[in-house]
Amino acid sequence: MTDDMFLARIHAAALELFRGRVWRQGIDEKLAIVRDAYSMLNAETQARRAEILEVIIVLLIALEIVLAFVRH
């Protein structure tokens, strides 16, 4: 029981000494920035993929129309 209290005091003192809460808040803010950047880049990538797929579909439809006229 006394060892746990002693270790808890040492842990609390170390957190206070190394500014654990401030350090943790800084890390949380940086993680939030990284998450936002990832979300933005992911959305941009998905939009590009969707646009490329739309162009491919339009080209395939145009190719089918051209082949239909050429065959007949």
CA-based nearest residue to 24, from 35, 15, 33: 15
Q: What pLDDT sits at residue 11?
A: 86
Q: Is-above-0.75 flag for pTM?
A: no
Q: What pLDDT sits at residue 1?
A: 47
Q: What pLDDT sits at residue 62?
A: 98
Contact assessment for residue 21 and residue 15, using Cβ atoms and an 8 Å cutoff: yes
pLDDT tens by residue, the chain, 72 residues = 457 888 888 888 888 888 878 888 999 999 999 999 999 999 999 999 999 999 999 999 999 999 999 997
Q: What pLDDT sits at residue 7?
A: 86
